[in-house]
Amino acid sequence: MNSRIDNIRYMCNGFFLFILLAGIFLISTSTYSQTKYRKALLLNQSVGGQIFDNTNVNCGASSVTAKTSVVAYNRAHGLSGSDSVSMNKQYYPSIGNNSYNTWHKIFDRQLTTDWNNLQSYRSNYSVIIIKACFAYEGGHTSEGSEDDIPYRDSRRTTWLSKWHVRSIVDSMKKMPSTFWVIWTQIPIAQNENTTAAQRDKRIAKWMKDTLAKGLDPVYGNNFPSNVYIFDAHSIMSDENGKALYGCSNLDAHPTPTGIATVAVPFVNEVFNAAIAYEGGLPPPAKPQLRSPQKGSIGQPYNMTLKWHPSNYASSYFLQVSTDSLFSSFFLNDTTLTDTQKSVGPLNILTKYYWRVKAKNITGYSEWSDRWDFTTSEQTNYYVYHPGWNIVSVPLSVNDYSVGSIFPAAVSDAYEYQGSYIPRDTLTKGRGYWIKFNEELFLPLGGTPFHSETLSVQVGWNLVGTISDSIETDSVITIPSGIIGSPFYDYNGSYTSVSKFIPGHGYWVKINEPGEIIIRRSP
């Protein structure tokens, strides 16, 4: 009897022990599965700080940085509270040299202070980003071999860089509680050696397209899931591997355009990959096309296709075809990270079809809806200077949105009616303030119009003009004599003009309400 009771007790105790262990396992796996990789630290030197928040920029600050892109990422994906992403920066390593050789030594614990600092950062951040600068990693002098290892501190060869990176990745693999990002080196300046720059470019491509994809014959196909390669070099370099956005031929530090160009994909790729590692990243949403509008006509033969960002997308595929089934292509681009693409020259009076698909580390979206547009018989070009311009609509077009007519605009369009009013849709005959980052040769297709009647009010008015270049003294007013000033153009300063230029706008002072009529002479 006692033996049976003991057996029952043993079975019960074993059962409860099993339940207890199972509960502990479920709690631990649940806790692990809920780990969020959304708090990042960028370990940077000079270029990293410039791209992060314009720190010590060499040739001007950018309105778009990694810091502003983090805010935009949270807003675009509806992330808030503990679900939101964040990024800080830290000048590191302490010795000031952030070559792959230095990082190799840090991860091998040869640089004790920097190794200890790295562990401290890991306790506060779940995502750690390391990078190499052109000053310490750019300009590889030769392909090299394993014979270079004893000279690792003085030689900069392709073989050594690959050896360093493989070892760094292997060390990162052993720390899976951290999501690691390796930022490829920044390209060297235009005046540097072209052969060396091309080696730099090949190393960056090898890191992204060979090593990270498990195709490196030395490292093998077990590239760790907690490591991501961000290929800044390919974004910021030209075909020769030199700085595409350098401050000058002698200075590879990025211009404001360069900072903006790399900051957005940097933030998107880092957090898309980190959230995918935690298991929370879905495939991107179906892209929504933006401009030109579906069925639009009179489009220029050099134009820009635009679409809205897709949630969690890291890149896009764009197809353009004269065939509605896309059995052949005018353009089939699978490498886009931006949400727009300039295409052309297109054939005149031709209907084109286009669609977009989004991609991220998890998978692909479905194709966007198919839109079409038809090119015009003739394309006109209009010139605008960098900065603020007074513009007007120079042709009758199918789509009067600012994004369709002035796709390079970096501001809203502002109409003036006693105060400035932002507009996203323009009207023929009106003048608008619009800002461009650089000199613009705007191609625009449409139908010329040769007469326009404008209502004007007492005081200063912003007015546009017609498709023809005509003398200002040919303007007719109702009632007569209401114009109280010359017409003023703006090109960094105000200048009175005697002739209207199509596509431009002008200030004019009016003495009493009425109308002005601008028309081509018969």
440, 408 Cβ separation under 8 angstroms? yes
Higher pLDDT, 431 or 2: 431
Return the SS3 of 130.
strand
CATH of domain 289-375: 2.60.40.10
Give the residue carrying structure tokens 């096309």.
289
Give Dmax over CA atoms of the chain in angstroms. Answer: 122
Question: How far apart are the C-alpha atoms of 38 and 203, rounded to whole Å?
Answer: 28
Give the residue carrying structure tokens 């052949």.
328
Tokens of 389: 């311009």
pLDDT at 9: 47
Return the SS3 of 116.
helix
Return the SS3 of 97.
coil
Region of 65 (left: φ > 0; alpha: ψ -120 to 50; beta: rest) is beta
pLDDT at 34: 54
42, 66 Cβ separation under 8 angstroms? yes
Which tens digits make up the pLDDT trace of 254-296? 999 999 999 999 999 999 999 989 887 788 889 999 988 899 8
Q: Which of 210, 214, 231, 211 is nearest to 222 (CA)?
A: 214
Topology alike, domains 35-277 and 289-375: no
Give the residue carrying structure tokens 């070009």.
381
Indicate the domain borders of the chain.
35-277, 289-375, 379-519
**What values do phi and psi take at 230, rounded to 5?**
-100, 115
Higher pLDDT, 236 or 403: 236
Question: How far apart are the C-alpha atoms of 129 and 52, rounded to whole Å?
Answer: 12
Among the residue ranges 111-115, 210-214, 397-401, the one predicted with the least confidence is 397-401
Instruction: State percent of the chain over pLDDT 90.
Output: 67
Which tens digits make up the pLDDT trace of 5-32? 445 444 445 544 444 444 444 443 333 3
Question: How far apart are the C-alpha atoms of 374 and 178, rounded to whole Å?
Answer: 51
Which tens digits make up the pLDDT trace of 34-50? 588 999 999 988 888 99
Residues 245, 251, 252, 256, Cα dihedral to 10°:
-40
Report the 10 Å Cβ neighbour count for 42. 26
CATH of domain 35-277: 3.40.50.1110
Instruction: Kindly list the distances between the CA atom of residue 56 and the CA atoms of 45, 52, 60, 240, 345, in Å, as whole numbers in the listed order.
Output: 11, 11, 9, 27, 40
Question: How far apart are the C-alpha atoms of 138 and 211, rounded to whole Å?
Answer: 19
pLDDT mean across residues, the chain: 88
